Homo-oligomer: A and B are copies of this chain.
Amino acid sequence: MKQIAVVGLGLIGGSMAWALRGFEDYEVVGVVRREETAQYALEHGICDRVVLDGDEVLPEADVTFLCMNPTGILDYMKAKKDLFHPGALVTDVCGIKTAIMEGAKVLPDSVDFIGCHPMAGRESSGIEHCEKEMFHGAHFLLTPRETSTPEHVALMERIGSYIGCRDVVKTTPENHDNIIAYTSQIMHIMAVSICDDPLLFKCGGFEGNSFRDVTRVAALDVELWTELFHLNAPALCRIIDRLETTLRQYRQAIEFEDTERLQERLIYDSDRKRRMNEQYPLMLLK
């Protein structure tokens, strides 16, 4: 039987292991640090098997999913690089890709690395929040190396499909990080920024769906997101910069009672959104 090692059974790693169970002829082996996590994973059937020491399973693993925080992944690859067998595939689930692909260069040439980012998450972390159906309907983003084998790319595509992703999108690490700064990172920055406002604790009873929706992701995993923002700083700063500029223009049009200018901008932006809805109707579906 072939083996998939899933290193780190947090929210995403646990969900990935769970979703992977039964995939083709692979045994899913969880690698965790804490005895309680191992216990929980076994009791809930999240993996076929759990080990506390990666060294036991990595040499046998055909595929290894690294599911820690970004720096945890980088450190782990450095420390374990000589354990993987030739022809093995290493991958990850991390929300940034350039730094990870760069770090993966530490692996021997005989070991393939394909960056992976299943676009799903929750506002809570830890194995006790993981879900077998976490990835249903999510985009499965892949950043293969130029040297990645077609067999490995095809294997990742079958995995994306098996865990329930809506599609597989292949791109470069740079493009991934640039776009993710826009579709995901800035949404988290806006959510926490809104929660910074003194009115937060005075607004109960006055909230509608837009408030619920925008602030939902603010209860984020601080260590994880500090790393994700930090490791994607240039792209993220460009987006924040542009958002600041647009917000200032809106504020000025409102402040100076320039209703014509305000209306023009609203026509332009709401029309862009309407066109996007038409162009990508599936984008609206959760």
Contact = CB atoms under 8 A, between A and B. Distances in A.
Interface in A193-231: 193-220, 222-223, 225-226, 229-230
A110 interface: no
B184 A210 contact: yes
A200 B241 CA distance: 16
B184 A208 contact: yes
Given A214-B187, A255-B233, A209 B265 contact: no
Copies of this chain in the oligomer: 2
Contact of A262 (B206, B226, B266, B267): B226
Contact of A206 (B176, B215, B236, B268): B176
A118 to B, nearest CB: 10
Given A201-B276, A276-B200, A139 B206 contact: yes
A286 interface: yes
User: Which 3 A/B pairs are nearest by Cβ-Cβ distance?
Assistant: A213-B213, A218-B273, A187-B210
Interface of A: 119-121, 138-139, 141, 167, 169, 176, 178-180, 182-184, 186-220, 222-223, 225-226, 229-230, 233, 236-237, 239-244, 246-248, 250-251, 254-255, 257, 259, 262-263, 265-270, 272-277, 279-280, 283-284, 286
